[in-house]
Chain A
Amino acid sequence: MIRLIALISIGIVLSAKVYADDLLETTELSRRALSMPMALLDSEQKLGQFAAGRSLFNQMWVIAPSNDADIDGLGPLYNSISCLACHPGNGRGRSPDGPTEKMRSMLVRLSVPGENPFHSKPHPVYGGQLQEFAVPGVPSEGRAELHYEYSTITLSEGETAILRKPSIQLVNPGYGDFGEVLTSARIGPALVGMGLIDMIDKQEIVSWQDPNDANADGISGRVNWIWDDIMQTRKIGRFGYKANIVSLDRQTANAFHEDLGLTSALFPDENCSAIQHDCQKAVSGGEPELTSEQLHAVNFYLKFLAVPAPRNPDNPEVTRGRAVFDEAACAACHRPQIRTQENTNPKAFADRLIAPYSDFLLHDMGEDLADNRPDNGATGTEWRTAPLWGIGLAEQVGDKVGYLHDGRATTLLEAILWHGGEGQKSRDAVINMPKSDRDALLEFLNSL
């Protein structure tokens, strides 16, 4: 009964336009579809601020010392020279297709096994992330190779899909044997609606959780509560594949720190472990390397990136696909609507129904998708429901993209077929439904 009410309410919302106006959306369909400013930025000054943030987002950072102190400080250890490398066109990254190919828009998280199912400690030598590059004079940490095991799934009308399951092999260790280590590969996610996600009403997220599956629908979902050292309070994790980052500014500063090796007020220490002595002695690009103004500028840019407006919502195939999406219970986690809080900055973000298609909760997605690496409140089988807005434009903005946290899926259908655990029923429904329904479902996803 509860499920029925939920589906009806979802259906009502889906049939209505989610936004009151298009201040936050873009109808751009080109390769820049995920890079447009919100129409809300209506002055030269605000557009200038947006462009300044973009300039830093696109910036190729420089190894210190340099004559350009404003952009130096890359490393000592790093994965990439720019933000754009992992988020081409602000879209998704991809995984290498085999062990000889480099990770160009992907990285590997590290930790050591422990007893706690929700938390694991960073590797004592290599830290929480494998950085494949280093400044001159500092050994890089090594390289991660991706190996695949392939399997074939047969769908209802005899069509087949080939799935590839990655395994990670760490090679060329720069600081001694990796020993027993937990790994988790992550592609750069699309950067859609991050400012709005930051403003979602926390009660909305909390009200959707059902940690003990009280309604017995097979779907639980729980908030990942994160302790915020600065505010000395518990906050909802909204960002990251494991929902373990509480805000946009934290997410940005964390990525600058871990991926590019740039310190900021939020992460003032270089990303060297205690025994990485050369790393510790490397020349710094400033204290911090990324100024508060620069961090603010990048956050401004990310906050005001326009959300793609759904395409062809009245197309009969899309409408049918939307119904299939409901019937397969995809909407139980990929929640089509969620409300922002009443007080926001900017005010235009306040009290809006937005359509990220996520509940921002952690769900057990089964063994096949598990990384078996507890991560700051999330178990090795739990993942945050991935927002789907803009997902239909992924292949438009990137030359080649991947889906799911580690990019193992090369199509949306493959991504669905990897759903297990709480998503198993939906996945089975998709496998067993008539091909025409499956096509309609994909058409709907491509319209987002």
Chain B
Amino acid sequence: MSLDDLWYSEYHTPNVRFSIRVNRQLLNEKSDYQEISVFDSPEFGRFLTLDGVLMLTERDEFIYHEMIVHTPMAVNPEIRNVLVIGAGDGGVARELSKYKSIEQVDIVEIDRRVVEVCKEFLPHTACGFDDPRIHLHFEDGLKFIRRVENRYDLIIVDSTDPSGPGEVLFTREFYGSCRRALTQNGIMVNQHESPFYPDDARAMREAHRRIVGVFPVARVYQAHIPTYPSGHWLFGFASNGLHPLRNLQGEAWQALGIRTRYYNINLHKGSFYLPTYVEEGLKTYEPEHTDASSL
């Protein structure tokens, strides 16, 4: 290890800084869309940042990727066609490829360089791209989905924060297009920001408000991700009708024998039970007759 005292820091708020000791920076470049960096660290292994914001580390990425993929898959193990927006690191693809029943996965990533960089520096996640059922499209997600109708059983929105190129993936027009692109039993899951720090919480509430305005079923679930702001992270589950708990097919999913390190059926159930302050923050935007306790 180097004698230099090198640290990567991310400001989780203007007054809170999260730092990881770095062995060295493996890459730094500006793509057409964002600044991409890869670091190597003693505690978290290699990690990727976009515009200075940490996206994933080798050490804890499994939590995020398992939660965003297996949660909807356990509600509808019949899923055949999947659309993934963002996810240039390949982690979502890796988890999806564990399902033999899936026929096709379209991944729409706006920045080709993210995929190339991950293939070079983060093979443990980028290996997901090797599956022949995976089709990569380097396009604007909003544009891709605009003309799609009734095609996907699952849409996974693996976006960056709404402040960067991921902004469009938090808009009402995007969620509206997603709903149209889904089949009758379709499910949309999305990266839903964090409830803790005020700016993140605002993004969370805004996203929820818009999703509730578009989908008849809109629930939020949580996970603990050490390297994300506050460590407490949320995902959205929205559908035309399938409910994440009432329609959970735990036994069918277990029968698939899929190996996971974070996700399991008990955790699935528990993850939809949210802390009171989070529920309250979300409930402002929900219609009268639903509330989290009616799970």
A and B found bound together: no
Measured CB to CB, the residues of B under 8 A from A are none
